[in-house]
Each structure stands twice: as structure tokens, then as C-alpha cells.
Structure 1
């Protein structure tokens, strides 16, 4: 056990990190492997792969994701901004590249292959985007000569445009919602409220009118008889079949005919095999992470850290909420993974990157360190 008097980097990290938050993320990682073991063999068998193909893949990427999370958690707020800027540039280049070189899957170009590994760039760019928006909003609040709000609007356009062109409206909705929440925290005026609400309404109506894919999903959600609702119907059947306590590990049957049981609908498999009680326990872990993050943000004096922690917490929570809501037919199908639970390599590593940023920003920092950080930031701004 490390002593509080130990002045090593690891010792200081251990006594300043939010160990409850770290433990909750660890629980989700373990739960992801267990639920992959429950949900993925049936899919692997249908695809002619090894029975534990997706389980082994989940473990492999978890062994990459854990060091990523822990390494990023050592960063200072200043280093967080720099890493986020680099990640945003790399992620944006890859995001645009998917439009030209990405494989088309179900009518969308969201994936790109790099050195034989399939990557979804939108997953990487999301946490970096939140950090940069928090930076711009905080600078705009501190200094009237910095057009932080305007730059944040331009940054949103830079991310949303390639997402719409893919098209990926689920991720577009997610990043836009988090961006709007950060703008609200930054104290947007009524003109901005009216303008952004109007722009959002126009965007929604345009997508519904001119993009058949969007209209089809919304119509199918509002009127199930208007289209194919096979996956959602099977998901509801899974929850009903499992009841409160589930059929038991490996005893599920509906998962065998649920095409995306290991990704988008892993929550339904949880309901069938482990019961609604297990689903509520999983929901509680997600809620704990989000509420703890928001509580830490509320107590922060540094505007950048406050906005960044709130944004990362909301990003994580909204993604989980959308996935679970789709599983119980409260939202139209979005193709959104359940953080740390759904099978997916780039998603797991990118989520670990984002949560590493969150843990880095929520570490307890002495007052002297906060002052030094602010002075360094002021010196950096003056050099510009």
C-alpha cells in the first residue's frame, strides 16, 4: 500500500485520483467481458467464426484500453488540452478520410481501416471535441477579447459536417446535445437560445424531409406497423423472457436470433440472462459515474476544468442513455454502443481515452498547483 508521504509520481497519483470513479469504470470493463461472453458466441457461430472470437477481441482491446486510461489520467489540465488538440486533429483527418476511403456498411461510411484494424473516427474525436469546446467557452468567459462562443460554433460545424455526410445522425445528435449543454453552462444569451433552437428545428425538418433513412427510422418508431422492427421486438421479448432475475448465464434463447446482440442490443441480452435487477445495477453504475462527475464539476473553481468535466460526464451518460433507451423502444434505433459493455475495439479504446481525461481532470490538486496552472495559462495566452 502506498504511503501518503511517498512523493513518487505513482504515489501522488494514487492519493489524488478519484478511486470511486476508477473502481466504477473497472466494474464496467469487467461487466463488458462477462456480457460479451454471454452475448457474442451466438453471433460468432452465425458468422462462421470461432465461438469466443468476440470475447477474445473484447479482452484484447480491454488490455489496450486500461493502460490508455491510466496513462491519460496522469496528465495535468494543461497537458489535457494539448493531448485533446492533437487527438482532435488526428480524429478529424480520419473522420474526413472515411468519406473517401471508408467501407460502406448499411449505407453509411463510418469506418476506416488502418494497418488492418477497423476504426470509427467519430469515437476518438468526441472526447477531444468536448475538451476543446470547454477550453473555448472558458476562454470566452474569462476574456472579452476572445470570441470563444463563435469559435465553438465553428468547431461544432467542423465536426458535424462530416458526420452528416457519412451519414451518422446518432453521433451528430450526441455531440450537438453535449455542445448545447456546455454553451448553456457558459451562460449563452437569449439571442443564442432562439438562434440555436431555430437552427436545430430547421436541421431536423430538413433531415426528415430529404433523407429517407432518417424519415424511415422516425416513422418506424412512431408507427411500428410502417416498417421492419425485428430487432426492437426481439429486444423487448428478451426483457420479458428474462423477468426480474433472468434465465441464467448462457441460458438465453432470444439472443440467438438477435443480429446485433453483442453490440447495440447487449443490454437486451443482459435482461434475458441476468434479469431486470442486473439491468438496474448496470444503470446504477452509469448513473454513479455521471453524477459523481457532475458533482466534481460543480465544485471546481477553474472554468475550463468545470466545463470539461461536465461535458465528458454528459457525453458518457447520454451515450449510455441512448443505447439503453433504444433497447427498450423509448428512442428510434441509433446504432450507438453501450460504453465499456458493447463489443467494439475502437469504441472501447476511445471511451477509455475520454474517461482517462475525466479522471485526470477530477484529480485533487493543491491550491498552489492550481495557481501555477493558471499562471502558466496566462503566460501562454500573453505569448499569443
Structure 2
């Protein structure tokens, strides 16, 4: 493929020359790992439930292909387009999440999914990126328009989401969205007293969830007390990491996929540890860390508060989701059914994460700045990150 010229004025040419290609490359790496680990983990899971061995693989090929297209399409949007997409997406996701309480599929006592042909959709997955961008817009708009109640509206939307996720219940998703919201309020300059109040409220809410929701209490007690409850899944996952060692047992040689019902989803990191070893696991962790840190470093030179708040919220949710999945598998935190971005099986998760990264890439693209040249007062357009 010939290299693109800097004077290429086509849509793709402008996108390619302004998008963060390092982050885009990391997305490609994660999608590649997703394909490899689905080939390793999903046939055994499918055979165990009596389905075709290729069912999960074929579905995930389609999901990840669509996800790659979503990343590229969304990353071409201007910041105003990202904001409009998020406003529409937030309204639809809230309505669909409310619909799950009435017509949702109940699995393990929770109503989080809506049945569609060939797949089920978890609408709350799309609340994470859309709410982060909507919150950033509300917080910055209140500074531009004196009488606009942006903070009040943001808390109102958060209250609606809190009620819906508590009713499903989905405490893990609520924790992620709450953490993202608190991070954005902190970056926006919220008084430290209110930051302390917010953190204290989160701790109090967690304690309340421990007493109100039996499944939360069970997971916390199993995490704190090794002799309480069933530890089969986490013990099997930890044994898989031990069996893999430094270089792994080799592709297809792992046994954890034959033992865990969610080896292709919540515990896919254990499959990676057993078959490909510690080094590959560290590389996967490094890719996630690189994407988060690179985005935050790029924002240090950004002077648009909307882009700073939105990108910080998006990348916080992305990094936190990856940490929760890997931390649960390694028994660093209580178990929580949350997917590993671009790697675990799941259509809703893949598309939601693709939307998240597409928005991050769109918001952090290099854009021209108008500056006044010293001496003659003339205005000049200079690419972001460069000086005259």
C-alpha cells in the first residue's frame, strides 16, 4: 500500500494523517488476541452446552469485524459529531435499560439483556461511553452558559442510571459508571470537600450493597474468607496460571477451557495464562496500560475542556473494565462478571468498547488551531502539536 501524502485531502487521507495510529494499532492487537483466544477457548465451551463447536467463533468473528468498523467510523467524526452521537445513544441506552426491567431476559436473578435474533443485547454496556461524553458536555456547557444547570442535569441523569442498574441489579456496571462520573467531577475542579463526600458515599453504598444483595455478600465473603462458599472457578483459574508458567503449555493444550463454563468470556485471561504463559499476559496488560497512559498524556496539551473531560471519562471506563476482568481472574478483587475489552466473547461488549475507543480517537485527533502571528497580526492555521 502506497504511503499517504500530506496533501491528500480525501476523507480517509485526512483521517489517517490526524488519528493516533499507535492507539489504533493497539486496537488491532487486542482484536487479534480476541480471535486467537476464541479459537482456543470457545470450542470446548460450545461442546459442553451441546452447541456447534464453531458457534462462538463464528459469532465473535462477526462481532469483532463490526467492532473494527465501528472504531474507524466513529473515529472520523468531529467532536460535535461525537457529542450528538452520545446524546442520542444515551437516550436510547437509558430507554432500553428500562425496557429490560419489563421484557428483559432473567439470568442468575438479574434482568440485563434484551433478546434479539441470533444474539442478546445488554443496553447498559452502551451507557458507559455515552454517559461519559454527555457528562463532559453538561459540565463544560454550564461554564459557557451562566444559567445552564449542567451539574444538576448531570446528577439527574446519573440518578436515573443508578435507579435502573440497581433494579436489574448490576452493581458492577454501576460501580464503573459511578467511578467514571466521580473522576470527571474531580477533573472538572469539584471542591475537595465534595470529592470526599462522593468517595464516602461510594463506600457507604458498597457497604449497603453488601447487606442488601445476597450475591454481592457471597462474592465478598468468598474473596475475604477462603474457607467460605464455592471457590471452584477462581481456584481453577489460578491453577491455570500456575500450569502455564512463563511461556505457556502451547496453543490448544490448556485444560481450563474444559473446566470453566465462562472460559470464553469472564475467564478468558486464564486461558491466555495457561496456553500462552506469563509473558503474553504481561504483554496484554501492557497494551491496555499503553492505551490509557498515551491518551492521558495527549490530553496534557489539550485546551478544550470538553475533550479533556470526555476523553478522561472514556479512557477511565475502558481501563477500569480491563482491570476488573483481569483482577477478578487473578483473585485481586471479588469476582465480577465483566468482559475483557476486545478479547472476551460478547457482542454488546465488543460494540460498546469499539464505540468507546472510536470516540477517544475522534476526540484526540490532531486538529488545526488558529493563532495570531507576532509582528503582523495575521492569523494562521497551525496543526495541533506544532508551532510556527
Shift of 1:195: 2.9
Query: Given the alignment of the two structures, is residue 327 of structure 1 paired with residue 319 of structure 2, yes or no?
Result: no
- Separation in structure 2 between the aligned mates of residue 125 and residue 320 of structure 1, nearest angstrom: 17
Aligned match of 1:122: 124
Distance change in 2, residues 1:140/1:353 (3 Å): same
Contact 2:78–2:363 under 8 Å retained in 1: yes
Shift of 1:143: 4.4
Shift of 1:124: 1.2
List runs of 5+ in structure 2 lacking aligned partners.
372-378, 380-388
- Separation in structure 1 between the aligned mates of residue 256 and residue 359 of structure 2, nearest angstrom: 38
- Separation in structure 2 between the aligned mates of residue 191 and residue 55 of structure 1, nearest angstrom: 50
Contact 1:296–1:309 under 8 Å retained in 2: no
Q: Which moved more, 1:306-315 or 1:143-152?
A: 143-152
What does residue range 123-142 of structure 1 map to in structure 2 within 5 Å?
123-142=125-144
Aligned match of 1:247: 249
Aligned match of 2:212: 210
Contact 2:311–2:360 under 8 Å retained in 1: yes
What secondary structure, in the 3-state scheme, does the structure 2 residue paired with 1:118 have? strand
Contact 1:39–1:269 under 8 Å retained in 2: yes
Aligned match of 2:320: 318
Aligned match of 1:77: 79
CA deviation profile, 1:6-33 (whole Å, cap 9, x unmatched): 1111111111111111111011011100
Aligned match of 1:16: 18
Contact 2:105–2:112 under 8 Å retained in 1: yes
Contact 1:141–1:186 under 8 Å retained in 2: no
- Separation in structure 2 between the aligned mates of residue 191 and residue 140 of structure 1, nearest angstrom: 21
Contact 2:256–2:263 under 8 Å retained in 1: no
CA RMSD after TM alignment: 1.5
Shift of 1:64: 1.4
* Equivalent of 2:27 in 25, 28, 49: 25
* Equivalent of 1:65 in 64, 67, 74: 67
What secondary structure, in the 3-state scheme, does the structure 2 residue paired with 1:367 have? strand
- Separation in structure 2 between the aligned mates of residue 44 and residue 144 of structure 1, nearest angstrom: 57
| Larger helix share, 1 or 2 | 1
CA deviation profile, 1:281-331 (whole Å, cap 9, x unmatched): 000100111111111222210000011111111111110011000010001
What secondary structure, in the 3-state scheme, does the structure 1 residue paired with 2:210 have? helix
- Following TM superposition, the consecutive aligned residue runs of length 4 or more in structure 1 with deviations greater than 6 angstroms are none
TM-score by length of 1: 0.93
- Separation in structure 2 between the aligned mates of residue 141 and residue 183 of structure 1, nearest angstrom: 13
- Separation in structure 2 between the aligned mates of residue 144 and residue 153 of structure 1, nearest angstrom: 18
- Separation in structure 2 between the aligned mates of residue 198 and residue 16 of structure 1, nearest angstrom: 42
- Separation in structure 1 between the aligned mates of residue 336 and residue 146 of structure 2, nearest angstrom: 39
What secondary structure, in the 3-state scheme, does the structure 1 residue paired with 2:227 have? helix
- Separation in structure 2 between the aligned mates of residue 82 and residue 144 of structure 1, nearest angstrom: 22
- Separation in structure 2 between the aligned mates of residue 138 and residue 12 of structure 1, nearest angstrom: 28
Query: Given the alignment of the two structures, is residue 161 of structure 1 paired with residue 174 of structure 2, yes or no?
Result: no
Contact 1:297–1:307 under 8 Å retained in 2: no
Aligned match of 2:273: 271
Aligned match of 1:180: 182
- Separation in structure 2 between the aligned mates of residue 221 and residue 16 of structure 1, nearest angstrom: 46
What secondary structure, in the 3-state scheme, does the structure 2 residue paired with 1:113 have? strand
Q: Which moved more, 1:272-281 or 1:145-154?
A: 145-154
What does residue range 357-376 of structure 1 map to in structure 2 within 5 Å?
357-368=359-370
Shift of 1:213: 1.4
Query: Given the alignment of the two structures, is residue 46 of structure 1 paired with residue 48 of structure 2, yes or no?
Result: yes
Shift of 1:144: 4.2
Aligned match of 1:376: none
Shift of 1:116: 4.5
Shift of 1:367: 0.6
- Separation in structure 2 between the aligned mates of residue 188 and residue 203 of structure 1, nearest angstrom: 20
* Equivalent of 1:146 in 137, 145, 148: 148
CA deviation profile, 1:243-297 (whole Å, cap 9, x unmatched): 0100000000122111110000000000000001000000010011111111122
CA deviation profile, 1:355-380 (whole Å, cap 9, x unmatched): 111111111000149x9xxxxxxxxx
